[in-house]
Amino acid sequence: MTRFALTIEFDGGPFCGLQRQDHSPSVQQAIEEAAHAVTGEDITLHSAGRTDSGVHALAMRSHMDIEKDIQPFRLMEALNAHLRPVPVAVIGCEVKPDGWHARFSCVGRSYKYRIRNRRAPLTIEKGRAWHIARDCDAGAMHEAAQHLVGVHDFTTFRSAHCQAKDPVKTLDRLDVSREGDAIIVRAAARSFLHHQVRSMVGCLALVGQGQWRTDQVAEALEAKDRAALGLNAPPEGLYFVAAHYEDDD
């Protein structure tokens, strides 16, 4: 039995999310079916994180255990051949020790959220960014974001369906910058609560549009109450960027 670590890129639009669901197609289902076609084995995919319907990934880390004797490059090529035409691609594959786990060995995760801030509707990026027509002050958004960095009880910014036992998380980074008519929010932490990034971005967008003061984000945080949340940003602007491990170069 060999443990293969995969790096996966996907467009979340057609899926109910990464994790397998009974009622809708998922990224996990697509990859597991491709792996079965390649190996003839019933294989379970384990991933560094979960993503909601519509959320994308640039480099999700996952692993699967395979009995078949196959080289990593050949496995990657075979999986991609069977994944066509769904918008999922394996962009990296390597062998890992048995004790390595895509989820439990992960020591950090990073996301970015993409906002297109322009009057014109989206065409090429429709479904891949949040369109906000009203002018946003990215500087004010970044200032407000710094209230959330550090160790906090993020109850306000967690989904009502979040299964995490503890709402206290350490947010290592939350930066906002403007790149032309795009506003990029970058977040990094060891782990996140369900909907945490989208909830934080939604409140920062209210600040950017002048509907909230910068310190209202801190007030929402201190409330420790989901009712204090101003807005949950839509899923299509969110990207899982990377999972980090102690054995990374």
Rounded mean pLDDT for each run of 10 residues along the chain, 249 residues in total: 98 95 93 97 96 96 98 98 97 97 97 98 97 98 98 96 92 98 98 97 98 97 95 97 88
Nearest C-alpha neighbor of 27 from the set 47, 42, 5? 47
Q: What is the CA radius of gyration of the chain?
A: 19
Looking at residue 249, what is its pLDDT?
Answer: 63
Phi (first) and psi of residue 74, to 5 degrees: -65, -40
Single residue among 96, 125, 141 that ends a domain in this structure: 96
The answer, as to whether pTM is greater than 0.75, is: yes
Same domain, 138 and 51: no
Same domain, 41 and 76: yes
Could you list the residue range(s) of the whole structural domain that residue 89 is in? 2-96
- Helical packing angle, 216-223 and 196-208, nearest 10°: 150
Inter-CA distances, 145 with 66, 162, 215, Å: 43, 22, 10
Same domain, 70 and 189: no
**How many Å from the N-terminal Cα to the C-terminal Cα in the chain?**
25
Q: Compute the CA torsion angle 20, 22, 23, 26 (nearest 10 deg).
A: 10
Same domain, 121 and 238: yes
Q: Are the C-beta atoms of 110 and 187 separated by less than 8 Å?
A: yes
- Going along 97-222, which residue ranges are E strands? 106-117, 130-132, 150-153, 168-179, 182-189
CATH of the domain at 206: 3.30.70.660
Q: Are the C-beta atoms of 65 and 245 separated by less than 8 Å?
A: no
| Rounded distance between C-alpha atoms, residue 15 and residue 10, angstroms | 10
248 located within any domain: no
- Active-site position among 42, 52, 135, 248: 52
Same domain, 125 and 7: no
Single residue among 71, 96, 121 that ends a domain in this structure: 96
Q: Containing H/E element for 207?
A: helix 196-208
- Long-range residue pairs from 121-127, CB within 8 A, at least 24 positions apart, any chain: 127/11, 127/13, 127/54, 127/236
Q: Give Dmax over CA atoms of the chain in angstroms.
A: 59
Q: For residue 248, what are its two tokens? A: 């990374």
Q: Kindly state the DSSP code that residue 122 receives in the 8-state scheme.
A: P
The answer to whether 225 is a known catalytic residue is no
Inter-CA distances, 9 with 26, 92, 147, Å: 13, 9, 32
Structural domain tally of the chain?
2
101 located within any domain: no
Same domain, 237 and 117: yes
Single residue among 74, 96, 118 that ends a domain in this structure: 96
Q: Are the C-beta atoms of 203 and 219 separated by less than 8 Å?
A: no
Q: Compute the CA torsion angle 121, 123, 129, 133 (nearest 10 deg).
A: -10
Looking at residue 241, what is its pLDDT?
Answer: 98
